[in-house]
Each structure stands twice: as C-alpha cells, then as structure tokens.
Chains A and B, each alone.
Chain A
Amino acid sequence: MIRERYLNMMVLALLVLVPAYAVLMDEPFTITLASRAVIFALAGVGLNLALGQGGLVSFGHAAYFGMGGYAMGILASHAQNYEPLMEVPFVIEGTNSMPVIWLVAIVASALLALLIGALSLRTTGVYFIMVTLAFGQMFYYFTISWPAYGGEDGLSIYVRNQFPGLNTLDPIQFYGICFVLLLAVLYGVNRLNKSPFGLALNGAHQNEERALTVGINVYRLRLVAFVISGAITGLAGALFADLNRFVSPTMFSWGVSGEIMIFIILGGVARLFGPVVGAAVYIMLEHFLGGLSEYWFIYLGVILLFVVLFAKGGIIGGLSKKETRHAG
C-alpha cells in the first residue's frame, strides 16, 4: 500500500511528464486530452470542496461551469467583433485577455453560487440534490431560449485568448497554464481544508448539531464553502471554453454536473487528489473505450456502478487503504 501523499506526488509527476511523452511519441493529441483532464480535475476540485468536505451533494455544478464558459464566450465574442459589451452608463469593452476573463468568470460564478446557494442551503439531504439540479437545468433552458449569444447553437471564438508572454495556441503552453492553475487551486484548497474554516466545515458535515452547539453558524459556513466551490468550477469552465474555443448550452446540461460528480467518486470522495485522478481516469476511459465501441457509455455505467457498490473510497482509497478523516 502506498501513502496517499506519495500517490499524489506520483500523479503530479505523471501530469508533468505528459508533454514530454507527447513530444517523444509524436502524439500531440495527447496534450489536448491531458488539458481536458486537468480542466475537468479543476472543476472536480471545486465540487469536492462542497461535496467532500462540506457534505453538500450539489447536482448543479454545471451552472458554474457554464457560467465560466459563457463569461469567456461573451467577453471574447465582443472583443472579436469589436463591439463594446455595453455603452450606457459607461463603456465596457470585450476582452481577449485570459487573466481578465478568469477574474470575470470567477466573480460571475461566485455570485451565481451565492444566489443559488442561499436558496438551496435552506434545504438539506435529498431536497438539496434536487433543488441544485433544477437550478442548473434552469440555466440550460435559459441559454437555449436566449438568442443573443448563439442560443442553442452556441458561440464560436476563432482565436484562443491571450496570456501575457505566452503563445496560448501552442498546446503545450496552454496545458502549462491549466496545470499551473490546477496546482495553485490544489494548494489553496489544501490550506483551506486545514484552516479553522475547513475544519469547521468538515465538523459540520460530520455532526451538524454539535457544530451548532459550539456556536458555529453552519448556514453561513456552508454558503461560503459553496461560493468558493462554485467559483473554482467557474474558472474551470472558462478554461474549458478556451480549450475548445466554443461555448454552448451543453456546458450547462445536467450531464456535465453528473460527470463532475463521477470524477470525484472515481478518484475518491473528500480526498485532495480524488478529482484529479478521477478526471484523468475518466478521460482515459473515454479515449480507449470510445475507440473500442460506439456505445462506451454502457461500460462507463457498469464501471461506475461497480465503484459505487463495491469500491467505496474510489481509486485513491483502493490504493492507499487509508480512510479519510471524514469518511461517510
């Protein structure tokens, strides 16, 4: 059995080695796959904060993923058409600068998470799952029926957005950006989990009554966690849109919420690197099973069913055999 820390180090090392592998084997497509995996991992790390640490089973994280995507799409489409986003009362121009887009994506999805969270957190348990799912779906239908930004067809952005000093159209450099962002967020989330805030969040997950009794405002605590979680997933959405240079209502669909959840359960719930391992394995399954059969979702379903029924703790749990501090 391997210590979870060493396992995490190995995962990071593998992710660093992907570009080298791609160059040596002359398979540039691998880098795009790895970028997808890293971006999905980032979305999963966001959800894992709410779901794993906080015990908040949100089935509507596609809302933030899509919000991040549309933040990128709307800003970049205005920049590409040279039309200001709004003129009264003051002029806001579109932009194709990645840092600005990330900031907007984070703020927009955090605000959305604040709104949805404030309503949804009034409920618990199975109500919470259904309510978050329904709100996510609300944005899916809204983007389909709102024609200004492509409606059902989505929005294409012809040139990838700019990052100062880098050529973002080079797959390896774009992968580097995604990877560094993932590292930064993993570092931040790890610090957060060990901070008094993270411990209180986890404590409220394990025993809500006790947390309330010692004077913790559980509702506010969870809302803050939910907002941070949504903001991280929103950032991932902006990167995903940049990877594909395309946004569409599909980013809001409930299947995306389900996928983000699958990354977590495959890798291991409430483990720091759970979503990273889960997303990487998911992308590999998609690539190899998708090559074997048109109907690869059947195999994915069977694997998922097996993991849920018989392999609690996911891949990391299976390899490291150490319970998380907050199992269940």
Chain B
Amino acid sequence: MTTILLIEQVLNGLQFGVMLFLMAAGLTLIFGVMGLINLAHGSLYMIGAFAAAAVAAWTGNFLLALMASLIVAAIAGAIIELTVIRRLYDRDHLDQVLATFALILIFSEATRWVFGSFPLFLNIPDALKGTIILPGGIEYSLYRLTIILIGLAVAVGLFLLISKTRVGMRIRAGENDREMIGALGVDISVLYTMVFALGAALAGLSGALVGAIQSVEVGMGEPVLILAFVVIVIGGIGSIKGALAGAILVGLTDTLGRTMLPVIFGTFMEASSATTVGSALASMLIYILMAGVLLFKPTGLFGKA
C-alpha cells in the first residue's frame, strides 16, 4: 500500500469522523442538558438531506440548499420538542426510547409518502467538483476537503458558543443543575427548545452534506444514528470534547479498517479469503473498539464517573 493512498484514506476517515461529530454533538448536547436519549435524531438528519435535495432541485443553488437543511431541520426539531419531547424529560429512558422510536416510524413513512421510495440525488456544486492537489502531491476530492473544513469550523464554533457566550453559560449551567438555573430566573423551557433545535440543525446539515456524496433516501439516518451512539459511548455522554475525539476515532478506525484489514490478512492468507475475513472483521471493528473502551473506562474517554 502506498503512502499516498494511505493519506487519502486518512482524509476520508477524517471526513467521515467530522460528519459523525455533527450528529454526535447534537445527541450528546441534548443528553447532557435535558437527560434525553433521542432516537429521532437520525430522522432529523434525513429531513435535512431531503430539504436540501428539494431546494437544490428547485433553485439549483447548493448554498441555499444547505441553509434550507439547517432551517428545516431546526424547525422540525423545535416542533417535535414542543409537542412530544418535552413530555419525556421526566420519564425514564425506556419511555424516551419508545416515544422517539415512534417518531422515527412517523417521520420515515411520512417522508416516503411525500417523496416516494426512490432515492433523490443531490449534486455537488460545480465550484466544488473535481480534485485539489494537497502539499506533498496528494490529489484529493475538493468537496470532501470542504466537508472536513466545515465540520472543523462547526466544532470550533460550538466550543466558542458553549464556553464564551451567555447562551453557552446557561447550557453548561443546565447540565450541572437544572432546578437551580430555573430558580435563578432562566426560562428553562425556552433553553431546552433552543438546544434541541440546535442539535437538530447540526444533524440536518450533516445529512445535507453527506447527501451530496451518497443518495438521499428514507432510512438513511438510522445507520448514522447508531454510529453516533457508538461515538458518544466511546467519548463519554454529555461531553462535546468526547464527541469530537470519539467521532474522529470511529471515522478513522472504520475507514482505515476497511482498506487495511484485507491487505493485512492478505500477507498470510490467500487473496479471496483474506478479502472475506478482512472485510467481515472491518465491519465489526468499531464495535470491538467500543467494547475495548468499555472494558477500561465504562463511562467513556471523557465521561464523568
């Protein structure tokens, strides 16, 4: 395996990780502040992708499509927070799981109803098509590089929002002591709706960005949702820093595992069975990683005990 191919795969892993971060950040924020496990986060990812595909087909403008994904997902998030989610904060996790599972059924079927069962396509804008030569002579897809940069920019923005602004202060206070911040006169229900809509917007953006590489279809959110769970279990639930570390770790492990394991097995096995064993093992690799982290730190890398 050449170094250039390896670096390319590392970049792909980074891109995957950054996308997972956008999903995981919302999930972990919602869990940290409201104590809610939200399975419908994958549906918000799907809604963002569909909104972007619809707007892109209508206007032909990718930037507008991205804006639409953020806005529509945030609005959808705010609506379900106001109607359903808010009744779940005091309930146990089982009720939260089942109610948000019900939301997935409703969202998926409603989307199938409106858009049909066939996948939609969201095209990469012309300005971002093609490849770019990175230092060292590595040719890499410009769009994927843009995704990495957007993801890192969002990560920095989120850190600043939470550590430097007044809203961020309230979010952190909400994580520590819900009753106290309510007693101090902060309208906690507005804060909750805002946090939920913020998480939803991030999921929607992630769906739109990935939708341009893959197809936009019903059920696209759930595999990503489960990976995002793996990410926050590894990083520690409630920790944005943990979500970033976990996302990059999962993205790199998965991408590199899929390319490297068949090659590694090929050194001591015959080619066809090396591909079989290697790719089967690669599909399990991140879960094995998760099991390993759990063995040593049951609360995740950055989790509070």
- A residues apposed to B, CB below 8 Å: 51, 57, 59, 119-120, 122-123, 125-127, 129-131, 133-135, 137-138, 141-142, 144-147, 254, 258, 261-262, 265, 269, 295-298, 300-302, 304-305, 308-309, 312, 328
Cα–Cα, bound, A133→B229 (Å): 9
A127-B233 in contact (CB<8A): yes
Question: B290: CB under 8 A from chain A?
Answer: yes
**Contact (A258, B101) CB under 8 Å given A134-B287, A134-B290, A142-B283:** yes
B237-A126 in contact (CB<8A): yes
Question: Interface stretch among B49-57, B60-68, B195-203, B293-301?
Answer: B293-301
**Contact (A308, B95) CB under 8 Å given A127-B233, A135-B287, A301-B109:** yes
Cα–Cα, bound, A178→B76 (Å): 44
B280-A261 in contact (CB<8A): no
| Residue ID in chain A nearest B93 by CB atoms | A126
Query: Which residues in chain B, 218-248, are within 8 Å of chain A measured between CB atoms?
Result: 222, 226, 229-230, 232-233, 237
1/0 contact string of B86-102 vs chain A (CB within 8 Å): 01000011110111011
A130-B102 in contact (CB<8A): no
Question: B145: CB under 8 A from chain A?
Answer: no
A319 to chain B, nearest CB (A): 20
| Residue ID in chain B nearest A57 by CB atoms | B94
Q: Can you report 5 residue pairs joining A to B where beta carbons are below 8 Å apart? A: A134-B230, A134-B233, A147-B276, A261-B101, A328-B92
Query: Which residues in chain B, 2-43, are within 8 Å of chain A measured between CB atoms?
Result: 31, 37
Cα–Cα, bound, A133→B299 (Å): 16
A138-B287 in contact (CB<8A): yes
Closest 4 CB pairs of A and B: A301-B105, A138-B287, A301-B106, A304-B102
Cα–Cα, bound, A328→B105 (Å): 25
| B residues in contact with A120, CB < 8 Å | 294
A289 to chain B, nearest CB (A): 11
Selected contact of B102 from candidates A119, A133, A295, A302, CB within 8 Å: A302
B109-A297 in contact (CB<8A): yes
A297-B105 in contact (CB<8A): yes
Question: B193: CB under 8 A from chain A?
Answer: no
Question: B128: CB under 8 A from chain A?
Answer: no
| A residues in contact with B222, CB < 8 Å | 254
Cα–Cα, bound, A21→B125 (Å): 62
Chain A binding surface SS class:
helix
Query: Which residues in chain B, 244-294, are within 8 Å of chain A measured between CB atoms?
Result: 276, 279-280, 282-284, 287, 290-291, 294
Question: B108: CB under 8 A from chain A?
Answer: yes
Q: Which range contains the number of B residues in contact with the other chain?
A: 35 or more
Selected contact of B106 from candidates A133, A137, A302, CB within 8 Å: A302
| A residues in contact with B280, CB < 8 Å | 142, 145-146
A130 to chain B, nearest CB (A): 4
Question: B122: CB under 8 A from chain A?
Answer: no
**Contact (A301, B102) CB under 8 Å given A119-B295, A141-B283:** yes
Query: Which residues in chain B, 133-166, are within 8 Å of chain A measured between CB atoms?
Result: none
B84-A127 in contact (CB<8A): no
A308-B294 in contact (CB<8A): no
Cα–Cα, bound, A130→B298 (Å): 12
Q: Beyond A138-B287, A308-B99, A312-B95, list 10 extra A-B contacts (CB 8 Å).
A: A59-B97, A122-B295, A131-B233, A146-B276, A297-B108, A300-B105, A301-B109, A305-B84, A305-B106, A309-B99
| Residue ID in chain A nearest B279 by CB atoms | A145
| A residues in contact with B279, CB < 8 Å | 145
B234 to chain A, nearest CB (A): 10
| B residues in contact with A296, CB < 8 Å | 109
Question: B118: CB under 8 A from chain A?
Answer: no
A259 to chain B, nearest CB (A): 10
**Contact (A305, B287) CB under 8 Å given A119-B295, A145-B279, A269-B94:** no
| B residues in contact with A127, CB < 8 Å | 233, 237, 298-300
Cα–Cα, bound, A147→B233 (Å): 30
| Residue ID in chain B nearest A295 by CB atoms | B109
B37-A142 in contact (CB<8A): no
| A residues in contact with B226, CB < 8 Å | 133-134, 137, 254
A317 to chain B, nearest CB (A): 14
**Contact (A129, B93) CB under 8 Å given A141-B284, A145-B280:** yes
Selected contact of B283 from candidates A133, A144, A295, CB within 8 Å: A144
Cα–Cα, bound, A301→B110 (Å): 11
A129-B95 in contact (CB<8A): no
| B residues in contact with A129, CB < 8 Å | 37, 93, 97
B262 to chain A, nearest CB (A): 11
A309-B87 in contact (CB<8A): yes
| B residues in contact with A122, CB < 8 Å | 294-295, 298
| B residues in contact with A138, CB < 8 Å | 283-284, 287
Question: B112: CB under 8 A from chain A?
Answer: yes
Question: B44: CB under 8 A from chain A?
Answer: no
Cα–Cα, bound, A258→B97 (Å): 9
A144 to chain B, nearest CB (A): 7
B229-A130 in contact (CB<8A): yes
Cα–Cα, bound, A298→B276 (Å): 39
Cα–Cα, bound, A302→B106 (Å): 7
Question: B103: CB under 8 A from chain A?
Answer: yes
Question: B58: CB under 8 A from chain A?
Answer: no
B298-A304 in contact (CB<8A): no
| B residues in contact with A59, CB < 8 Å | 97
| Residue ID in chain B nearest A300 by CB atoms | B105
| A residues in contact with B87, CB < 8 Å | 309
| Residue ID in chain A nearest B287 by CB atoms | A138
